[in-house]
Amino acid sequence: MSLIEFADFSFKYLGADSLALRKVDLKIEEGEYVVITGPSGCGKTTLCRAINGLVPQFHRGYIAGNVIVDGKNTRESSVAELAQIAGLVFQQPENQLVTLNVEREIAFGPENLGVAPEEVRRRVEELIDMLDLDHLRDKHPHEMSGGEQQRVAMAATLALKPKVLVADEPTSNLDPKSAEAILNLIAELNKRDMTVVLVEHRLDLVSKDASRVVLMDKGRLIADGAPRDVLTSDLCQEIGVGIPKATQLYKRLKKRGITLDTVPLTGAELAAIVQEVKRR
């Protein structure tokens, strides 16, 4: 059984005049790193909300089809229940932080779910260590940089021991260095068996780590596959999704009759592939 399964799922927000998601079929297996991308307003955020039950439990509306997460139908399960399976991280960490210090912030979720105090303490220390938050213990969230706030928000999400981390543009408010650090951390978590669903526009930053890219447009899934296949499809251009420069160059060269052996996703990959071709 898949960890996440969308079966012919459609959703329309209360008061909206068009569907946010249209007949979505999507299966995500344990251990995958899935990047969701597509034009602004295409339904990416709604898809994330549907994974942890915010849609339809909190955001109400017209609903058809089902979403099954770790065997639970999101129509019938509470957000609190689903939060232990799917942890959400948002774009604005400041909207997510609710307490005044790092330890309490991380403890907040598990405490609310009635986890035993010793276990809560153990998780707090483990996450402070893993996300390198020790120096922030005594800081107020407003004294932290955006990158630091986002690391704390991630720690608080991970404290619920979710099976899948769902991150909705988690780095778009961060400076490039902090963004890189957060994305490296997410890739690292995925290597330690955490399933990841990440919404991102900047594919040059994330496609190298992803096992799969899903392309959305107007509430529908229009492509789904390995990053190198999806990013070279002309669909990206048609719907206005930006692909990495190295991948763009691959496509341009191909048009001129030069076909590189593999599709590069980064500058370093491009250089290595060109070197390989040159050597022959």
Partner 1 sequence: MILLEDVHFAYDGLYTALQGVSLQIDDGERIAVMGSNGAGKTTLVKHLNGLLRPDRGRVILDGVDTKHYSVAELSREIGLVMQNPDHQLFLETVEREILFSLDNLGYSKEESKERCMRTLNDLGLEGLAERSPFTLSGGERKRVALASVLATEPRVLSLDEPTIGQDARQKDKLASMLSELNEKGKTVLVVTHDIEFVIENFPRTVAMADGRIVADGPTNSVLSNTEVIEKCSLTRPQLTDAAMCLHAIFSDVPQRITLLDDLEEAVVNVLGGT
Q: Which positions lie near partner 1, rule CB under 8 A?
A: 13, 15-16, 38-42, 44-45, 91-92, 143, 145-147, 169, 172-180, 201, 204, 239-242, 244-246, 248-249, 252-253, 256-258, 266-268, 270-272, 274-275, 277-278
* Cα pseudo-dihedral 14, 17, 21, 24, rounded to 10: 110
Q: Give dist(CA 50, CA 56) in Å, integer.
A: 7
Min separation Cβ 258 and partner 1, Å: 6
Residue 79 vs 253, nearer CB to partner 1 = 253
Min separation Cβ 24 and partner 1, Å: 16
Residue 104 vs 140, nearer CB to partner 1 = 140
Min separation Cβ 9 and partner 1, Å: 18
Min separation Cβ 230 and partner 1, Å: 15
Q: Give dist(CA 162, CA 165) in Å, integer.
A: 7
Residue 5 vs 217, nearer CB to partner 1 = 217
Residue 185 vs 239, nearer CB to partner 1 = 239
Min separation Cβ 39 and partner 1, Å: 5
Q: Give dist(CA 254, CA 238) in Å, integer.
A: 18
Q: Quick one: which of 48, 8, 37 has its CA closest to 24?
A: 8
Q: Give dist(CA 51, CA 74) in Å, integer.
A: 8
Q: Give dist(CA 142, CA 135) in Å, integer.
A: 15
Q: Give dist(CA 101, CA 141) in Å, integer.
A: 7
Residue 145 vs 262, nearer CB to partner 1 = 145
Let me know: does 152 contact 102? Beta carbons within 8 Å.
yes
Q: Give dist(CA 46, CA 147) in Å, integer.
A: 24
Residue 46 vs 77, nearer CB to partner 1 = 46
Min separation Cβ 27 and partner 1, Å: 25
